[in-house]
Amino acid sequence: MTHEQDPHIISYGKLAAVWLTLLALTGLTVWVSRLDLGVNRVWGALAIASAKSGLVIAFFMHMKYEGRLLRWLLFVALLTLAIFIGFTFFDVLYR
């Protein structure tokens, strides 16, 4: 049996702080969506959603405290998704 290193424990206080930030960002995204920004509304909403996901992945899912393997795998998965979406748009937008 292998003995793993002690897991990192995230305190209740830190989790609550992340939760408050997430609620604040939710409020921000609702507020931004009411502004008259044209197409930038879409990019603004996606930027805020990405920031929220980053917080959830880093703290709630403990990714900040994981080793290299999981971080690289996450990167590869996101890159795959980006290629998948990007290449579709190369086709769709320039037909």
Binding residues for other proteins, rule: CB under 8 A, are: 1-2, 4, 7, 9-12, 15-16, 18-19, 22-23, 26, 29-30, 33, 41-42, 45-46, 48-49, 52-53, 56-57, 59-62, 69-70, 73-74, 77-78, 80-81, 84-85, 88-89, 92-93
Q: Are 39 and 20 in contact (CB under 8 A)?
A: no
DSSP 7-45: PPPPPHHHHHHHHHHHHHHHHHHHHHHHS--TTHHHHHH
What's the closest the beta carbon of residue 6 comes to other proteins, in angstroms? 9
What's the closest the beta carbon of residue 37 comes to other proteins, in angstroms? 10
